[in-house]
Chain A
Amino acid sequence: MTDIGHAVRQICAVYHNDASRLMDIIEAVQSRYGCVSSEAMNLIAQALGIPRVEVHSTVSFYSFLSNRPKGRVIIRLCSDPIDEMFGMLPVANTFEETLGVHVGETTADGAITLEWTPCIGMSDQAPAALINDVVVTYLSTDKAREIVAELRRSGDPRKLVHRLGDGHNAHPLVRAMVHNNIRRKGPVVLADLPPGAALRKALAMSPIEVIRDIKTSRLRGRGGAGFPTGMKWEFTRQAEGARKFVICNADEGEPGTFKDRVILTEYADLMFEGMTIAGYAIGAKEGILYLRGEYAYLRPLLEHILQVRRDAGLLGRDICGKRGFEFDIRIQLGAGAYVCGEETSLLSSCEGRRGDPKNRPPFPAQKGYLGCPTSVNNVETFCCVARILDRGPGWFAEIGSKGSPGTKLFSVSGDCAAPGVYEYPFGITLAELLRDVGAEDVQAVQVGGPSGQLVGPDSFGRRLEYDDLATGGSIMIFNSSRDLVHIVRKFLEFFADESCGYCTPCRVGNVLLLRKIEEILHDRGSPDDLHYLEELSATVKFASRCGLGQTSPNTVLSLLRNFPEVLKRRLKPPAGEFLATFDIRAALADTERLVGRSSVMYAP
């Protein structure tokens, strides 16, 4: 085992002992040794010439990285409410029983670890889990037992895949049981385009003209914030710097979102084409696809598509014969951290560090990856770019609504007949969408994921577009049997877990919000709590450093605004002086036992 020194040095050498590739190095060490031990951290630090604490800080940040050995197989169950609605709790119990461990533990033989993880991007085929890199979907208690039996037999998660999914899910490089569930195709994203067609049209123009076209199309970012893409590119192009970068944000961590998964599976060429056009437009030679760790199963296919594009002259030097235009793309794998979808955290992560957000300004367009001007865009945004260059900005701007041109992919999950991916022109009403997906008896819809808003039937006439009900794509549907307070609690648990911990309002505030909602759930809420929740939410939103904390209270606020009666039903004024959450008997029990007498003042 002394050879770990040799192996680690070799791995570091593959990445030219470049500390900014620490993520890749750590991932390689972990996949070889099962964890990044203290010894391995020392060796990495030595080889890269960086303080050990930097290695430790990266390892400890990401939930998929570990400094202690875990099972050879790690089962990660999706903990989101959607999966719970479709029977995850009995499935989890079955795993616990058959494995003889609780969630969070490893079997005594070191073979299997059982964990919770937030949304793995399979909400349309819940309940779902990741077993190492292998996705398993539509789980049941029977399947759980079969899975454990197979893992005990072969120890090989790949053997769990019997029937392959549709499209590229059945590709020899993927071999996943995942289904695309494409329910409605539109003209922009989910449509075919011969590789290179849009790129050639772009290269026939000057970079400035390409940016002008994107501006004319009025394309806005599809990742959530809706920033005008042309403007972002212009800033990046104009920023000083010899080296510039294009980054595609495929972190897709917002629970209930899985449309990027489908693009990555079926339309990766379109996305890479958009990235290459971006490289040409802003003057970047290098691109990075930041792929969430949960989608590692797609990596071999994506690497293959990149190679095919290189071989076809669509990446590399003198692309499409255009002298001097050089661009290539590498894949950076994430490791299970929602906050890394926030663009400045994503940059930190690409640089090999813990996914802490950065201060703004400077914005990534001025100083991004490694301090160079960088444009970060969503997967779907790049697909729109390619289509705009192919069909023209006028064609694109005609689709959709006034402030929101084009189409949008919606990831629909929850209580409906046909969960899956739908491409619609912007501006359709929520009611139209709900009708098409076969949703009945709808109590509430979470639009835009936990960081978005929970709306009720009085909002179903509203339009899905930037200026009304904005969403990065997540649409979760809850029928009248669902407990909305419980759902909000699950969302707050998610934020409390995923907060990077850098700033107090988010790190502490989300925990306080969670506690208060839990008290209400346990019938210990009082009418004063409404005011408390309102004030605390406002503080967390106002004082947090990045988008995570600035949006995490939305779930609470929309419950307060749109479903006051759901909350009020559970609140009652305390009967005496004590708060409903204070239990004097419980507070005295230990002492009574220790001293051997009961309280006189508060007799049992």
Chain B
Amino acid sequence: MSSKPRIATCSLAGCFGCHMSILDIDERILQLIELVDFDKSPIDDLKHFTGRCAIGLVEGGCCNEENVHVLQEFRRHCDILVSVGECAICGGIPAMRNNIPLKECMDEAYRNGPTVYNPSGVLPNDTALPLVLDRVYPCHEVVKIDYHIQGCPPPADAIWQTLVALLNNRPVELPYEVLKYD
């Protein structure tokens, strides 16, 4: 195993937009490969952790037990855990269901929705399917999160600057323009 620090990324209840933004660092991806090795991540399609990681980047909040499990794994294997983007930080679009009772959500999705055909009215209960949670949780309500990078998605520059600062153990400098969204 090389001595480069390792980083891992995951997408929980997110849209992959934040991962697109990670890739949006353009040619700096080559510099990044020089700096780090990727561990578990959709980018290299590694399904399991292979070792201890310096940094874990988390996109999306937790809407089901599998999200929780992955997040737990990330906390176990990463020294620093970063919530990336609105969904990880606040729950984002998926959390819109938080104001609607769970049963109503289920009924709309699997029983009464205009495009649903489900005469027996059974709710998906195969053991291969993760169970949804009572509501969508932001990551920092489940495990300790060390940093948050806001944005939907956060600009590539913000992600890049944060990574470089963390890897070099320097304070991150995020100029106003990088974090201004209106």
Contacts and interface: CB of A to CB of B under 8 A. Distances in A.
A589 B134 contact: yes
Contacts of A57: none
Contact of B142 (A579, A588, A594, A595): A579
Interface string B58-76: 0000000110110110011
A590 B125 contact: no
A586 B69 CA distance: 15
Contacts of B29: none
Interface string A577-595: 1110110101111111011
Contacts of A528: 144
Q: How large is the interface on A (under 10, 10 to 19, 20 to 34, 35 or more residues)?
A: 20 to 34
Contacts of A592: 131
Contact of B137 (A582, A590, A600, A602): A582
Given A594-B102, A594-B106, A595-B125, A601 B143 contact: no
Interface in B139-156: 141-144
Contacts of B125: 595-597
B123 interface: yes
Given A588-B65, A590-B102, A595-B123, A581 B141 contact: yes
B133 A591 contact: yes
A595 B143 contact: no
A238 interface: no
A574 B71 CA distance: 16
Contact of B75 (A577, A587, A599): A577
A591 B66 contact: no
B124 interface: yes
A599 B123 CA distance: 15
A599 B128 CA distance: 10
A577 B76 contact: yes
A586 B143 CA distance: 16
Nearest to B77: A577
Contacts of A601: 65-66, 69, 130
Interface residues of B, number: 26
B127 A588 contact: no
Interface string B93-130: 00000000011001000000000000000011101001
A589 B131 CA distance: 10
Nearest to B129: A595
A23 B135 CA distance: 43
Contacts, number: 64
B123 A578 contact: no
Contact of B143 (A577, A589, A596, A602): A577
Contacts of A595: 123-125, 131
A392 B102 CA distance: 73
Contact of A597 (B127, B132, B134, B144): B127
Contact of B134 (A581, A587, A596): A587
A595 B133 CA distance: 12
A591 B68 contact: no
Q: Which one of B69, B133, B137 has the greatest number of beta carbons of chain A within 10 Å? A: B133
A602 B62 CA distance: 15
A602 B132 CA distance: 12
Contacts of A602: 65, 68-69
A592 B130 CA distance: 11
Contact of B132 (A574, A582, A584, A591): A591
B134 A578 contact: no
Contacts of A591: 102, 131-134
Contacts of B124: 595
Contacts of B134: 586-591
A382 B162 CA distance: 58
B121 to A, nearest CB: 12
Interface in B30-72: 65-66, 68-69, 71-72
A584 B65 contact: yes
Interface string A77-115: 000000000000000000000000000000000000000
Given A599-B131, A600-B127, A587 B72 contact: no
B158 to A, nearest CB: 21
A594 B68 CA distance: 20
A579 B132 contact: no
A581 B124 CA distance: 29
Given A582-B141, A591-B131, A591-B133, A599 B65 contact: yes
A578 B140 CA distance: 10
Given A591-B132, A595-B125, A600-B127, A578 B143 contact: yes
A588 B69 contact: no
Contacts of A582: 137, 141-143
Q: Which one of B68, B103, B127 has the greatest number of beta carbons of chain A within 10 Å? A: B68
A519 to B, nearest CB: 11
A579 B141 contact: yes
A579 B139 CA distance: 10
Contacts of B142: 578-579, 582
Nearest to A592: B131
A185 B3 CA distance: 78
Contacts of B131: 588, 591-592, 595, 599
Contacts of A587: 68, 133-135, 137
Nearest to B106: A594
A579 B144 contact: yes
Nearest to A528: B144
A87 to B, nearest CB: 37
The 8 closest A-B pairs by CB, nearest first: A577-B75, A595-B125, A587-B133, A577-B72, A595-B123, A591-B131, A590-B134, A582-B142
Given A574-B144, A591-B133, A595-B124, 19 more contacts: A577-B75, A577-B76, A578-B143, A579-B144, A582-B137, A582-B142, A584-B65, A584-B68, A588-B133, A591-B131, A591-B132, A594-B102, A594-B123, A595-B125, A596-B123, A596-B125, A602-B65, A602-B68, A602-B69
15 contacts: A528-B144, A574-B144, A576-B72, A577-B72, A578-B72, A578-B143, A579-B142, A579-B144, A584-B68, A587-B137, A591-B131, A591-B132, A595-B125, A596-B123, A596-B125
